Amino acid sequence: MNDYAPEPQIYILDTGGQYTHLISRKVRERGVYAEVRPSETPFAELKNAKGVIISGGPRSVYELGSPTVDPALLASDIPVLGICYGQQLIAYLLNGDVRKGDKGEYGLANLNLEPNAGPLFSGVKDHEQVWMSHRDTVFAPPNGFRILASTDTCSIAAIGNDATKKYAVQFHPEVVHTHEGRKVIHNFLFDICGCGKDWEPASRIPVVEQSIRDVAGDRNIFFFVSGGVDSTVAYSLCLKALGEQRVHGAYVDTGLMREDETDFVRKIFTSLGAEHFRVVDAQMDFLSALDGVTEPERKRAIIGEKFVQIQEEILESGPYLDGQWILGQGTIYPDTIESGGTAKADLIKTHHNRVAGIQKLIDENRIVEPLTQFYKDEVRELGGELGLPAEFLERHPFPGPGLAIRCLCADKDEPCVPTADGVIAPIHSVGVQGDSRSYRPVLIVKHLDHARATEAINADQRVNRVIGEVGYNIPLDRQSVIQSSITPGRMDRLRRVDAIVRELSHASGFDKEVWQFPVVLIPLGGDGLPDSVVLRPIDSVDGMTAQSVSMPEKLLHRMRDALLAVPGIAAVYYDLTHKPPGTIEWE
């Protein structure tokens, strides 16, 4: 499908950093089409670009096997901007001096521009706030380069060679904390590279429709719809391109959905004029398969297997496997690229088993993916242009296995254990510690202080999460872990508390301040009230790392009161854990 995208004016070379796609999005936001490539892409494939940006990354340039770029790029007359690792790499490859610094620099810093810092900083105020994250440092720039800026701890925070149009910055212009970052990117694109504006997602709709018609030919398209933004926008583009008779879709109601979700999805598809869209009710299949299961990976495996089985049945129940049908998918741009730190290996978990029928369609190349050029924000823009309601387009990401991974289970009754810092509850939740997943109990504290929670978690290796008490019907010293699995009753309880939190955070506007807001049901209670609620509002860029964020007190109290009034709820807690060490979901 990328044959239908414009030729990129800018390539972002990925050296494994978590912000590679963010750089590319920031370039596109300025109306310039950019694509990401592996850092080692041969120069011959880059030479038609107006400019190249080398991303940040976690490695050290002087280590054997760390990501590099084709030296021909730096010898060429194409403008290059190195960011963070990108700066170090340019300096290293051109014989500058790069070493580990005495002190790392993480977080906000003050950038001091040199007099006449040149075109990259044109219009940028002196003494601007920037965001830094590095340990390695450039100690001497390469020949022909001059120092353009410094910070208190980093005497070489930007370098440039105006003659060869090679520039580099140690800070991250792509993140919001760098106040003049946009200006720096703008200067590079328009003043240094001479880019023109060629990218406006909504105006691409006719091209995308044409691409759908070309790929489909006289065949029809079938979709599995998740209710998420991507598959819905992809579906509606196909409807627009081929008409409602030729596009069919099925949505599987697993019984693990949020309150009113299935009705909501049905309404959206009705409003799109999707005539051949159906809801397949598989609630009992999923719930009975999960009955008595407590272990998270087992839950995921069962949900994955059920999905496979039901999707297979749906494909076989119609004509969809014959040559007249192809499969539509909502794959978006970042999903198409496997490189360094941007690979979604950790994000896409075990439920993504391949359905044999789907595999057959892929093997035969019977697939249409209209969104592979676009980022999520761009997909939202397309959706708006296609008439999808903002309420739908602005939804937070929601995991495929649904509320099942927010409904914690326990294989036996077990008491909590008091410690110096609080109480350890033997509810095992998933976390990431080092490179692997951990599965540990949670520490309950009486305060809602993130800094103290972080200290406590660093000090106590037994736990991977800290939650603070918000309010209770049953005091903590009378609570214990109660044996439980996923039951229709607990799912209803979780749906209710989740709906209350969603409603209140929407009404207050708090939902706009967070990237995602899981609400988790944990089997911690007493005196006939078997469950507690954990609030987990987080901020994130892409889900790979996340910060627990605090909430206005008034809203928190309103939520607490509403949640404690739900039948069966013993207490309300607040997850104070960042990722790492705690994952976003509890599982």
Catalytic residue IDs: 84, 172, 174
Of 351 and 450, which CB lies nearer to ligand XMP in the complex structure? 351
Asked whether position 401 contacts ligand XMP by CB under 6 A, the answer is yes
* Burial of 77 (C-beta count, 10 Å sphere; 0-12/13-18/19+): exposed
State the minimum distance, in angstroms, from the CB of residue 330 to ligand XMP. 11
Q: How many helices (H) and strands (E) does the chain have?
A: 15, 26
Cβ burial of 102 (10 Å; 0-12, 13-18, 19+) is exposed
For the record, the structure tokens of 160 come out as: 């440039």
- The sheet carrying 128-140 orders its strands as 34-38, 10-14, 51-54, 80-83, 166-169, 158-161, 146-150, 97-113, 128-140
Nearest distance from C-beta of residue 342 to ligand XMP, angstroms: 14
Q: Using CB under 6 A, which of 147, 289, 347, 562 touches ligand XMP?
A: 347
Report how far residue 364's alpha carbon sits from residue 567's, in angstroms, rounded to the nearest whole number: 52
β 436-445/465-472 pair status: parallel
Closer Cβ to ligand XMP, 321 or 347, answer by number:
347
> Can residue 108 be called a binding residue for ligand XMP (CB under 6 A)?
no
Distance of alpha carbon 121 from alpha carbon 282, whole angstroms: 58
Q: Which x/- pattern, by CB under 6 A, does the window 488-517 give for ligand XMP? A: ----------------------------x-
What angle separates helix 356-363 from helix 296-317, to the nearest 10 degrees?
60
In terms of CB distance, is 170 or 464 closer to ligand XMP?
464
Structure tokens at 110: 């003050």
Residue 575 touching ligand XMP (CB under 6 A): no
Q: Which of 38, 104, 397, 471 binds ligand XMP (CB under 6 A)?
A: 397
User: Which CB sits closer to ligand XMP, 312 or 539?
Assistant: 539
Out of 172, 258, 349, 536, the only residue in the binding site for ligand XMP (CB under 6 A) is 349
According to DSSP, residue 17 is labeled: -
Minimum distance of ligand XMP from residue 406's CB (angstroms): 9
Instruction: Provide, rounded to whole angstroms, the least separation between the CB of residue 228 and ligand XMP.
Output: 8
Instruction: Report in angstroms how near the CB of residue 408 gets to ligand XMP at its nearest.
Output: 13
- Least distance from ligand XMP to the Cβ atom of residue 530, Å: 24
Choice from 399, 422, 526, 581 touching ligand XMP (CB under 6 A)? 399
Contact 573, 473 (CB under 8 A): no
Binding region for ligand XMP (CB under 6 A) out of 94-102, 193-201, 212-220, 397-405? 397-405
C-alpha 360/C-alpha 505 separation (Å) is 43
By beta-carbon proximity to ligand XMP, the closer residue of 346 and 455 is 346
Specify the residue, 38 or 397, whose C-beta has the smaller distance to ligand XMP: 397
Report the chain's C-alpha Rg in angstroms.
Answer: 26
**Interface segment toward ligand XMP; rule CB under 6 A; list 204-212, 313-321, 347-355, 363-371:** 347-355
Residue type, 104: G
Measured in degrees and rounded to the nearest 5, phi and psi for residue 446 equal -90, -10
Distance from C-alpha of 82 to C-alpha of 174, rounded to nearest angstrom: 12
Q: Which is nearer to ligand XMP, 5 or 520 (CB)?
A: 520
Binding segment for ligand XMP (CB under 6 A), chosen from 65-73, 160-168, 394-402, 550-558, is: 394-402
Binding part of the chain for ligand XMP, among 100-108, 461-469, 488-496, 578-586 by CB under 6 A, reads: 578-586
Q: Which is nearer to ligand XMP, 96 or 399 (CB)?
A: 399
Distance between CA atoms of residues 126 and 135, nearest Å: 24
Instruction: List b or e across 495-509, with b for residues whose CB sees 16 or more CB atoms inside 10 angstroms.
Output: bbbbbbbbebbeebe
Q: How far is the CB of 338 from ligand XMP (least distance, A)?
A: 17
Our finding on whether 579 is near ligand XMP (CB under 6 A) is: yes
- The strands making up 367-368's β-sheet, listed across from edge to edge, are 277-281, 247-253, 220-224, 325-328, 367-368
Of 5-13, 25-33, 345-353, 567-575: span binding ligand XMP (CB under 6 A): 345-353
In angstroms, the CA 484 to CA 15 distance is: 45
Site for ligand XMP in 541-560 (CB under 6 A): 543
Q: Alpha-carbon distance 535 to 550, whole Å? A: 10
Could you tell me how far CA 418 lies from the centroid of its own chain?
36
Question: Minimum distance from CB of 584 to ligand XMP (Å)?
Answer: 3
Contact region with ligand XMP (CB under 6 A), list: 152-160, 171-179, 343-351, 407-415: 343-351
Rounded Cα distance between 23 and 31, Å, is: 13
CA distance 395 to 193: 36
**Closest to ligand XMP by CB, 176 or 348:** 348
Using CB under 6 A, count the residues that bind ligand XMP: 13
Q: Is 221 in the site for ligand XMP (CB under 6 A)?
A: no
CA distance 275 to 270: 7
d(CA 115, CA 487): 68
Contacting positions for ligand XMP (CB under 6 A): 347, 349, 351, 397, 399-401, 516, 543, 579, 583-585
